[in-house]
Amino acid sequence: MTHPDTADSKPAMMDDLTRAYQRIAELEKELSQLRQRYGIDSRPPGSASDSSQTRPKVTSVGSWEYAVEPDELFWTSQIKAIHEVPLDYEPTLTSALGFFAPDSAEAAKTAFEQVLLGQSFDMEAQIVTFTGRTIWVRVIGNAKVRAGKVVKVYGAMQDIDARKQVEEALSVSEAQLRELIRYVPIAIAMLDDQMRCLHVNDRWLETYNLVGQNIIGKSYYEIFPTLGDEWRAIHQLCLQGEISRRERDAFPRADGGIDWVRWEMRPWYRRENEVGGLLIYSEIITERIKMLDDLAAAKQNLSAVINNTADSIWSVGRDYRVITINEPFRESFHKVYGIALNTGDYILDKLGPEQEAEWRGFYERALLGETFKVEKHYTAPDLRFEIFTEIAFNPIRNEPGQVTGVAVYSRDITERKKAEQALRTREAQLAEMVRSLPTAVAMFDKDMRYLHASPVWYSSYHLPDRDVTGKSHYEVFPEIGDDWKQLHQRCLRGEINRSEREPFVRADGSLDWLRWEVRPWYSQPHEVGGLLMYTEIITSRINDEDVLRRSEALLNATQRMARVGGWEFDLRDNELLWTSETKNIHEVEPDYQPALVSALNFYIPDHEPIIRRAMNDASSGKPFDLELQLVTAKGRRIWVRVAGETEFEDGKPIKIYGALQDIDDRKRAENAIRESQQQLASTSNNIPGAIYRVIIHDPHLWTIDYMSEGIFKMAGVSAQEVVEDVQAFIRQLHPDDVEGFLDSLRTVRDRNGTIWYYEGRLIHRVTGQIKWWQGRSILAELGDGRIVFNGVLLDITDTRETEAKLRQSEAKLREAEAVAHIGNFEFDLTSLEIIWSDEMYHLFGLEVGSKMTLPLFRSLIPAEDYPALAEGLIHSRESGDAYRVEHRAILPDGSHRHLYTIGQPIADHTGKVVKVFGTSQDMTERKTAEAERERLLARTELLYQISQALNQVHHESDLVNQLGKALDGYDVNIINLLRLDEEGVEQVSTLELVATWARDGRPIVPFGSRFPASRFTFIESILRHPLEPRVFDIDRHPALDDNTRGFLQKLGDRTLVNIPLRLSGHWVGVILLLWHDLHVPSDDELAIYRTLPALISPIADNIRLVRNLEETVRELNQSLLFKDQFLATMSHELRTPMNAIMGYSSIALQREGVPDTVRNMLQRVLVNSDRLLRLITDILDISRINAGRVQLVHDPYSLHKLVKGWVQDFSRPIAEKGLIFQFDMDESLPVTAVGDEERITQIANNLLSNAIKFTDEGKIGLYVKRAGDKLVIRVTDTGIGIPQTYQHLIFEEFRQVDMTPERRHGGTGLGLAIVQKLCILMGGTVVVESEVGKGSTFTVTLPLQTPNSEGEGDSHG
Amino acid sequence: MANTPLKGWTVLVVDDEYDSRMVAEIMLEDAGARVVTAMNGREALDRLRQEKPRFILSDLSMPVMDGWQLMAELNDNRATAAIPVIALTAHAMVGDRERALAAGFRNHITKPLSADKFMTQLLAILEDQPEFSGSFE
């Protein structure tokens, strides 16, 4: 805390001093010379001290003088130095007062007014120096009075800034300490509203010397009979809700002494607003008070010493003899070394060997010209306090600059050092205190910056591993609202605010209950230094309705928390010592004498070996810390924490010290927590469904924020999948539910209620099972417009199914009730008497009330059904179980009725079955209905099978085959389809298949392709006059003519069924079904035959369509083939004569001796032949492309090689025409691409040829680039260009811009058409940009596929 | 012609069309080869009884025996199977070349021929074939 500038102001001072010393030295030299010359004796006594008194006082003290008349103020240079003004500064009274800091200005002014009235002053004030520093100064003023009037004021000013700052910091830190101690709970007593003791803690008992006494229930005034009325008044006030406290109160001790006590008294509340009694906290602070007093006393002593110790100044020459010395130094020297030091003495030999070496070093450094400072620390034997000095060494130089001696200036800095030390101690204490506090406490300065915070504060406010010291509270918690800021401001003005319970919503949305208190702390008696905040999370406790019980729990916990006992085991004599707390924990009597064996026996059998081993280990030096269970003397089983550590003496273990703590509650709590966690886990695992958290961001966006793994069981998707993508969830919704579900989310905002509810189905992704689920959530707004809902996605499939089953069985029951006639009967097994209800008679068709006997009953049951009834009855009688029998009843008309009888045996008190009660139910209708239903089902099933089979028919040949399979159950032998035309009956050729042929291995006997209808009149008639399906006995039926009958008999057929077949609304023929044996189709079977044409009809249509389609395709293929062949022939036939023309011409050109004219002509022949050849190729190409006969190949090729090939091919023709060829290829293009190399080349060739053709000067450019997944080929020229109006025409076939017969440029006009068609074929484009006279640019963009990207490209497609 | 790369070689040219045969013959002779000609596959086979050409240039579409049949015959006979045959044809449609190669022709040159292009093409083909390489001066 050294003021940084105090040292800096020294050099100026030291310069003065040094100059003064030099002058003195010179004067003294002159003097001695004069003395020698005039023979005067050496120095008279006291001359040294005289000279020292004339020297200016070199401290940070200056003097001032003020003359009233005229109004003049005089400052010494020191005062100017303190004010940091230039030496030529001339102060006035006003300007001088202006230096005082605003806080001190008033006091200074008042003081000065007072001094002018004759009153002296001595004040500490702050001034702002010329350079703007604010420093503490001490100002003294004394009035000089002459003739009753103040004429002058003499004064002094001292710079005390460094000391002041240290003192200030010290007092602040002490105030912090004082405030914090309040929160250390010491002695606590709880009283009820009649002032009876409900609870006290151990410390309280100890404090009031009441250990061992039972004071619970006793009146406070009975315990403390000396308490006077003033106390009763305080108690009454507290019971009315006030809080009283005293920071320091005298408390008479039993031994007559006085203890200082700090106490606080506050009401506790049984319920809201109902005071249950008082809580008294008190703490004996005698020790601390004494300490503070001691400290104060020490300080006084110290200041006394300091006051007596002024700055020391001395100087020595090169011979280490003292040149000058002032009184304070003489005194100090004497104090420290016990020797009087005088001028001219050799200074070093007085210091002792150690000091001598050190000091010699200092002087030598200074004598070598160094200016420096050291700090020294002395502990004088005769002083109670140590002295710190700051010593400045300055060389003394003579006129030529040689060092003649050392000037030393020593300043006592003991007080500053002490204060600094005390501050460090206090701050360490404070930090330690805060660290050890078990509650959340934080201390702030006036600007709400953290000074200290306890670890609990860090953990409570989720500030792990962050040091907030020095940070603003509002910066750490930006969410703190204005109401809190205002409250803080009020507290900084002195208010204390607290809340016993306050809800606190955390950033994560969770709610905690807090008890908090915010209060100011004082750095000075009336100056708030900042805030102290105390919070405690009481969420768990707040839930308890009874505040009393809460307090009790708190008290008990507090007490138990303190239950730590000590023990000591002496390894030398095996003696075990227990402290009283250890005995308390063991619940033994206070005079219990433990031994090691008996002590270990307290532990439960499982843990006894553990502690025994630990003790063994400890006796060889290994410390232990265990949590174990022991059984107390009272039989309670509790958890304790037991720790031990070994003490050694001369390397040998001598003792084990240990501690024992009752941690039963904690253990129990831990176990409870573990249990409840397990419960939670098992609960969430056992929930038939999943827990979710859904956030709706806006009506169109929602996400699943959380989903438990239960979703997998429901939908076969993992929780992670649905959290990452809601679609994963939506995909598993039943298709019919999706829209409704999404709608329910969309309309969540519009709902009046706050509950979202949805029921629907999920389809399990793996098993395909349909699960019913139900979601029910309470909606909550997140505040930013989003809505969140948590809930459980419940599997209600079982419920749904049960409901469905229930509904079914209910329906059944109702049906039964409606339909069934149920009769009751009673059969006495002893008397064999039978009693029937009316309905029973109805069931048997008998007259109600007629006498029923066993023989009669027996006659009413068919003989074959009776044994079952008798057996059931016997079984029931023996086992006591009910019997159920289906049997018939013979009605009077001889018909039968199906009955279902249930008999319930009834036992008497001995357990013997004596009676049977029962019901009989009419089953006839049900039986009939069941049979009918089964029949219908079978028919439906068959029809379904047939239609399934027919669905697979795509061709006539399949029709009969499939039909045969479908009708297999009817054992049909042959199926034939016949049709009639003008020439006779035709058996459709493809229907020669016989369904059972493969099975029977019978050879197919065909009808022959055609036979005259006239000879087979039966066939003709069923064809001409289609009838409903009928059955014909081939041997007997008169409708059959002899030819037909004979033919079929030859085939071995016995039965025939005709099925007229109508297809597309026309009778087309008849299906004949033939059987080997006499087959009588049932009604159902006939019904199926009747249905067959309807089933076949659409299939026949399909067959026809397919057949037509196939024919068309065949024809098309044929014509395409012809076209291809034609084109191939054309190509061949054109190329053959071209071969002769070009061949001969080229050979002739190579011959020697051909005249130039001929050579030219031959060359023209070749050029024109080339053109003709190109035309042929182009025409063939375009017609093939137009016919869609171009098959693109899709092979890998080297792109670089390909493009290089183009360059090679075109370099020459371009150069020959005198054009420049510019070429550039993208380096990023892949080496290998996939596609039709030849066709791409064709495109490039056409474009480049075109460019050359239309360009007479300038340049041709070929640029091959990559643009994403596209290949871009750009061909530019500087040719004639294409007018805007023609640009859209150039890609048309046979188009050129110049269509006149005299057009200059040859060519077919097919090139660009081919380019465009090929581009389109490859999935690309070609575009042209052109300007007449400037040139054209053709840009071809094709998909760029590489061997790797191929699959990728396809998936995009 | 100073440039006679095929000097000392015998080449069989098979083509039914007179001009085509002549053009090929002259071009090959200009390159220094001795040329033997045939009008169809049958004649070619006859020629091969006396001649041992280094390679054969054959048209595909010919009467009596076409190029395809000739190729098949040559392949069937051990004595002739090793003689390289190059198709020389006016069949220039896509796929013609592939069909020829599949049938056993070593290569496929399309008509019309012009002297310099033909020789360039032919020499390139010959260079590519291992049985020709290094054989000509």
- Residue A1122: per-residue pLDDT: 72
Q: Which of A1010-1024, A1296-1310, B2-16 has the lowest mean pLDDT?
A: A1296-1310
Is A424 inside a domain boundary? no
Residue B116, chain A, CB below 8 Å: the answer is yes
Higher model confidence: residue A698 or residue B65?
Answer: B65
CA distance A438 to A440: 7
pLDDT at A382 over 70: no
Helix (H, G, I), strand (E, B) or coil at B18: helix
Which residue of chain A has the CA closest to B114? A1143
Q: How confident is the model at residue A1220 (pLDDT cuts 50, 70, 90)?
A: very high
Query: Is A1139 in contact with B20 (Cβ distance < 8 A)?
Result: yes
- For residues A463-468, average pLDDT: 69
Which chain B residues have a beta carbon less than 8 Å from that of A1169? Answer: 112
Residues in A whose CB is inside 8 Å of some CB of B read 1127-1128, 1131-1147, 1149-1150, 1166, 1169, 1173, 1177, 1180, 1190-1191, 1238
Contact present, A806 and A818 (Cβ < 8 Å): no
Which residue of chain B has the CA closest to A1180? B93
- A799: tokens are 């419920």
The counts of H helices and E strands in chain A are 42, 48
The percentage of residues in chain A with a pLDDT greater than 70, rounded to a whole number, is: 67
Sign of CA dihedral A779, A784, A786, A789: negative
Which residue of chain B has the CA closest to A1127? B93
- For residues A29-39, average pLDDT: 52
pLDDT at A1068 over 50: yes
CA distance A453 to A242: 29
Q: How confident is the model at residue A929 (pLDDT cuts 50, 70, 90)?
A: low
Q: How confident is the model at residue A1274 (pLDDT cuts 50, 70, 90)?
A: very high
Residue B65: beta bridge partners? none
Tell me, yes or no, whether A156 and A190 share the same domain: no
- Residue A39: per-residue pLDDT: 45
pLDDT at A297 over 60: no
CA distance A581 to A955: 103
- Residue in B35, B114, B119, B121 to test binding to A, most A beta-carbons within 10 Å: B114
Across the interface, of B23, B112, B118, the residue whose CB is closest to A1135 is B112
Residue B113, chain A, CB below 8 Å: the answer is yes
Query: What secondary structure, in 3-state letters, does A546-583 show?
Result: CHHHHHHHHHHHHHHHCCEEEEEEECCCCEEEECHHHH
Amino acid code (one letter) for A1194: H
- Residue B69: per-residue pLDDT: 92
- Residue A1262: per-residue pLDDT: 93
Contact present, A504 and A514 (Cβ < 8 Å): yes
Higher model confidence: residue A1233 or residue A566?
Answer: A1233
- Residue A1181: per-residue pLDDT: 78
pLDDT at A11 over 60: no
Tell me, yes or no, whether A1339 and A1239 share the same domain: yes
- Residue A1109: per-residue pLDDT: 64
Nearest to A842, CA basis, from A861, A821, A826: A821
Higher model confidence: residue A460 or residue A1301?
Answer: A460
- For residues A510-518, average pLDDT: 73
Q: What is the pLDDT of residues A148-176, one digit of tens each?
A: 888 888 888 887 776 666 566 555 544 44
Q: Provide the domain count of chain A.
A: 9
Tell me, yes or no, whether A988 and A913 share the same domain: no
- Residue B127: per-residue pLDDT: 78
Tell me, yes or no, whether A1017 and A962 share the same domain: yes
- Residue A1105: per-residue pLDDT: 62
Q: How confident is the model at residue A757 (pLDDT cuts 50, 70, 90)?
A: confident
The percentage of residues in chain A with a pLDDT greater than 90, rounded to a whole number, is: 2
Site of tokens 């401290």: A59
Is A375 inside a domain boundary? no
Residue A966, CA distances (Å) to A177, A973, A978, A1054, A1092 in order? 102, 13, 20, 21, 11
- Residue A1130: per-residue pLDDT: 80
Q: Which of A184-188, A391-395, A1102-1106, A1189-1193 has the lowest mean pLDDT?
A: A184-188
Burial class (CB within 10 angstroms; exposed 0-12, middle 13-18, buried 19+) of A1209: middle
Helix, strand, coil percentages, rounded to 5, for chain B: 40, 15, 45
Across the interface, of A1142, A1149, A1238, the residue whose CB is closest to B112 is A1142
Amino acid code (one letter) for A1138: M
Q: How confident is the model at residue A40 (pLDDT cuts 50, 70, 90)?
A: very low
DSSP strand pairing (A1259-1267 vs A822-828): unpaired
pLDDT at A989 over 50: no
Tell me, yes or no, whether A1061 and A1108 share the same domain: no
Q: How confident is the model at residue A802 (pLDDT cuts 50, 70, 90)?
A: low
Helix (H, G, I), strand (E, B) or coil at B101: helix
- Residue A292: per-residue pLDDT: 57
A–B interface: beta-carbon pairs under 8 A: 80
- Residue in B16, B93, B98 to test binding to A, most A beta-carbons within 10 Å: B93
Residue B94, chain A, CB below 8 Å: the answer is yes
Q: How confident is the model at residue A982 (pLDDT cuts 50, 70, 90)?
A: low
pLDDT at A10 over 50: no
Question: How far B79 CA sits from the closest chain A CA (Å)?
Answer: 32
CATH assignment at residue A202: 3.30.450.20
Q: What is the pLDDT of residues A1238-1248, one digit of tens each?
A: 889 889 988 99
- For residues A1310-1327, average pLDDT: 87
- A1336: tokens are 């054209």
- For residues A381-403, average pLDDT: 70
Burial class (CB within 10 angstroms; exposed 0-12, middle 13-18, buried 19+) of A304: exposed
Residue B35, chain A, CB below 8 Å: the answer is no
pLDDT at A1200 over 70: yes
Q: What is the pLDDT of residues A355-365, one digit of tens each?
A: 788 888 888 88
Sign of CA dihedral A1044, A1045, A1050, A1055: positive
Which chain A residues have a beta carbon less than 8 Å from that of B67? Answer: none
Tell me, yes or no, whether A879 and A898 share the same domain: yes
Query: Is B115 in contact with A1150 (Cβ distance < 8 A)?
Result: yes
CATH assignment at residue A1045: 3.30.450.40
Q: What is the pLDDT of residues A568-584, one digit of tens each?
A: 888 888 888 887 778 88
DSSP B61-79: S-SSS-HHHHHHHHHHSTT
Residue A644, CA distances (Å) to A565, A596, A652, A773 in order? 12, 14, 16, 59
Contact present, A968 and A995 (Cβ < 8 Å): yes
Contact present, A73 and A66 (Cβ < 8 Å): yes
Residue A1154, CA distances (Å) to A574, A1147, A1150, B27 in order? 138, 11, 9, 17
Q: What is the pLDDT of residues A681-719, one digit of tens each?
A: 444 444 556 777 788 887 778 888 777 777 887 888 888
Amino acid code (one letter) for A657: Y
Query: What secondary structure, in 3-state letters, does A202-224 show?
Result: HHHHHHCCCCCCCCCCCEHHHHC
CA distance A453 to A445: 12
Residue B19, chain A, CB below 8 Å: the answer is yes
Q: What is the pLDDT of residues A87-119, one digit of tens each?
A: 888 888 888 888 898 888 888 888 888 888 888
pLDDT at A1279 over 80: yes
Tell me, yes or no, whether A273 and A252 share the same domain: yes
Higher model confidence: residue A730 or residue A713?
Answer: A730
Q: What is the pLDDT of residues A208-249, one digit of tens each?
A: 777 777 877 888 888 887 777 888 888 888 888 787 877 777
Question: How far A731 CA sits from the closest chain B CA (Å)?
Answer: 49
CA distance A686 to A295: 68
Q: What is the CATH number of domain B10-127?
A: 3.40.50.2300
Q: What is the pLDDT of residues A640-669, one digit of tens each?
A: 888 888 888 777 888 888 777 777 766 665
Q: Which of A427-436, A780-789, A998-1007 has the lowest mean pLDDT?
A: A998-1007
Which residue of chain B has the CA closest to A1165? B114
**Strand order, beta sheet including A497-505:** A450-453, A440-445, A527-537, A511-524, A497-505
- Residue A318: per-residue pLDDT: 84
Tell me, yes or no, whether A1239 and A1313 share the same domain: yes
Amino acid code (one letter) for A383: L
- Provide the b/e sequence for A580-615 (b: ≥16 CB within 10 Å): ebbbbbbebeeeeebeeeebbebbeeebeeebeebb
Tell me, yes or no, whether A694 and A715 share the same domain: yes
Question: How far B78 CA sits from the closest chain A CA (Å)?
Answer: 32
Q: What is the pLDDT of residues A940-978, one digit of tens each?
A: 667 666 766 666 665 655 666 667 666 666 666 556 666
Residue A640, CA distances (Å) to A141, A559, A604, A607, A609 in order? 71, 15, 11, 11, 15
For residue A125, the enclosing domain spans: 60-162
| Boundary residue ending a domain (A1050, A1081, A1112) | A1081
pLDDT at B1 over 70: no
Residue A331, CA distances (Å) to A14, A311, A341, B89 in order? 22, 11, 9, 134
Which residue of chain B has the CA closest to A1143? B114
- For residues A1216-1235, average pLDDT: 88
- Residue A46: per-residue pLDDT: 37
Q: Which of A738-747, A960-969, A978-987, B54-63 has the lowest mean pLDDT?
A: A978-987
The percentage of residues in chain B with a pLDDT greater than 70, rounded to a whole number, is: 91
Give Dmax over CA atoms of chain A in angstroms: 193
Tell me, yes or no, whether A240 and A276 share the same domain: yes
Which chain B residues have a beta carbon less than 8 Å from that of A1138? Answer: 111-112
Contact present, A771 and A712 (Cβ < 8 Å): no
Q: Which of A387-396, A403-412, A637-646, A954-963 has the lowest mean pLDDT?
A: A954-963
Across the interface, of A1128, A1142, A1238, the residue whose CB is closest to B114 is A1142
Would you say how long chain B is, in residues?
Answer: 137
Q: What's the number of CA atoms in the CB half-sphere (13 Å) around residue A1027?
A: 13
* Cα–chain center distance at A491: 38
Question: How far A1197 CA sits from the closest chain B CA (Å)?
Answer: 17
- For residues A251-255, average pLDDT: 65
Which residue of chain A has the CA closest to B111? A1139
Which residue of chain A has the CA closest to B90? A1132
| Boundary residue ending a domain (A1149, A1180, A1211) | A1180
**Strand order, beta sheet including A403-412:** A322-325, A312-317, A403-412, A387-397, A372-378
- Residue A801: per-residue pLDDT: 67
Q: Which of A787-801, A875-889, A983-997 has the lowest mean pLDDT?
A: A983-997
Question: How far A1125 CA sits from the closest chain B CA (Å)?
Answer: 10
- Provide the b/e sequence for A110-121 (b: ≥16 CB within 10 Å): ebbeebbeeeeb
- For residues B76-98, average pLDDT: 83
* Cα–chain center distance at A67: 79
- The most confident of the ranges A57-71, A213-227, A385-399 is A213-227
Tell me, yes or no, whether A1219 and A1326 share the same domain: yes
| Boundary residue ending a domain (A1024, A1047, A1081) | A1081
Write down the mean pLDDT value for chain A. 73
Q: How confident is the model at residue B86 (pLDDT cuts 50, 70, 90)?
A: very high
Is A541 inside a domain boundary? yes
Query: What secondary structure, in 3-state letters, does A1214-1246 show?
Result: HHHCCCEEEEEECCCCCCEEEECHHHHHHHHHH
DSSP strand pairing (A564-570 vs A450-453): unpaired
Helix (H, G, I), strand (E, B) or coil at A80: helix
Which chain B residues have a beta carbon less than 8 Å from that of A1238? Answer: 94
- Residue A1: per-residue pLDDT: 37
Helix (H, G, I), strand (E, B) or coil at A442: strand
